[in-house]
Structure 1
């Protein structure tokens, strides 16, 4: 009886999760369907048609040819990749001593860092803009990147991961004469690879989809990211929802691809399995 009950509980859980997944996918399917519909199809007919009657790529071609989406794609990719790399580097450097080293004020520093998570970006937006202008970072890639090169969430996540690494690994590395930086690079980082990948996914998605800060710090179209490029479609095509949908699909496709590629690395691993030889 207990086995049957557990089985039905599992079936119910999978059914619930499947229903939630379907509900979450409906907007994405509708967006892709709108992007594939021909100009002769009514987007607002009732009852609504989920699948296009005559699928066409004309909307994607028009958007790509009329707007410099290749440049927007390059800008977003460069900014997202640099943001991920710098965020992982600085967060890992900050989290390691907060997790493994003993020094006065460690907990106070960590508490102060975590507390900043509760501060909305809109509060620090104006000081950041003033600082960016004073540093000459307006209309530059670095100007878009620098507010996100480290994050309190990233430091918190990696600190928790560093604390889970067995002390035996650390002691063995020290006995072998490994320096503090070598211990961080060759032992600690490989041991927390799932946490690093998780943080990379969060940072990539946040950087790729960020609209507010690039809108503030950029006013030259050659530096626009994809979200800003999609926003320009509303004026360029006078609210042509097919074109806007096509631009949105182009914008979100790299996020989905990045997540699909990286999710295989988010798996529990033995702490010692990732140590480099």
Structure 2
């Protein structure tokens, strides 16, 4: 393979073509379902979506399907319930996972390694195994059929704690030692040394926590019985049952549920990629 004067390898045109072709293939596989749902949601009733040669571009784009979704179900009320649940989960993970990760990474206390092992052990169990015990616990606390009960099990994710633990471990211990010599306590070291160095990973946790809470379907379906308290993912099932012969409305409801995720990721994407880069380099 040819080399540059500085010793770095160069890529031949054929290799570049193969790489771009593979990237284009992955891109098409990834975004094609989204584009098809968006296209379907904009098609009118007079346009056939079951043709042998489907078209991604609607012949007469319309927003009528979105209007019908809002008229059929209280979609904005469901969206508000989902936002409440997502806010509780995001705040819980941002605060709880950060504090727990810092404690395990930087503070010395008896049983710390055992606690870390228990955190790792919880990742082995699938969520379906503990869902019954979670429901019994939530019901015994009096949070059944409430939005707090929906958010409580995901308020602190074990994986998020371990991610913050890894991020704090990547901070050089010399910084903490120097701050200790200067008289800084644990809270001051956490605030002035720890947090500024893990903002990227914290944004990753915020995005994942929001997406997980917003997209969750099984747990809200189990906990909630009052239709007025349904989250958006549960409430959209009314479209699937009532309008099973009209996938245009189902696609429109899907796009309504997908929009907040796009907004959150668009706002935090700069910090997200910074956090991923930090984890790849330091971890």
TM-score w.r.t. length of structure 2: 0.90
Partner of 2:281: none
When residues 190 and 10 of structure 1 are mapped into structure 2, their CA distance, relative to the original with a 3 A threshold, is farther
More deviation in 205-214 or 94-103?
94-103
Determine the C-alpha separation between the residues in 2 that align with 1:242 and 1:32: 9
Residues 138-178 of structure 1: CA deviation (Å, up to 9, x unaligned): 12111011101111111111111001112232123323332
Cα gap change, 1:36 to 1:92, in 2 (>3 Å): same
Instruction: Give the root-mean-square deviation of aligned CA atoms.
Output: 1.9
> Alpha carbons of 1:259 and 1:7: their partners in 2 closer, same or farther (altered >3 Å)?
farther
CA contact (8 A) 1:198 1:266 kept: yes
Structure 2 residue aligned with 1:113: 119
In the alignment, what sits opposite 1:217? 223
Equivalent residue for 1:104?
110
The worse-fitting range, judged by mean Cα deviation, of 123-132 and 243-252 is 123-132
**Residues 7, 261 of structure 1: CA spacing in aligned structure 2 closer, same or farther, 3 A cutoff?**
farther
State the match for 2:11 in structure 1: 6
| Post-superposition CA distance 1:75-99 (Å, at most 9, x none) | 1112112201111211111111211
* Distance in 2 separating the partners of 1:186 and 1:142: 32
Q: Pick from 93, 103, 108: which aligns with 2:99?
A: 93
CA distance in 2, matches of 1:232, 1:167: 54
Partner residue in 1 for 2:168: 162
The answer to whether 1:66 aligns with 2:72 is yes
Structure 1 gap segments, 5+ residues each = 272-277
Establish whether residue 147 from structure 1 lines up as the match of residue 153 from structure 2. Answer: yes
CA shift at 1:212, angstroms?
0.4
Task: Assess if the C-alpha contact under 8 Å between 1:233 and 1:239 holds in 2.
Answer: no
Asked if the contact 1:76/1:226 (under 8 Å) is kept, the reply is yes
Deviation at 1:181, TM superposition (A): 1.7
Q: Tell me the CA shift for residue 11 of structure 1.
A: 5.1
How many angstroms apart in 1 are the aligned matches of 2:23 and 2:33?
A: 17
User: How far is 1:55 from its partner?
Assistant: 0.6
Instruction: Give TM-score scaled by structure 1 length.
Output: 0.92
Gapped regions of structure 2 (runs ≥ 5): 279-283
Task: Give the equivalent residue in structure 2 for 1:40.
Answer: 46
Deviations 1:175-215 (A, max 9, x none): 33322122212321121011111111111111110000000
The separation in 1 between residues aligned to 2:16 and 2:214, in whole angstroms, is: 36
CA deviation profile, 1:233-258 (whole Å, cap 9, x unmatched): 11232442111100000001111111
More deviation, 92-101/23-32: 92-101
Question: Distance in 2 between the 1:211 and 1:2 partners?
Answer: 53
| Structure 1 equivalent of residue 193 of structure 2 | 187
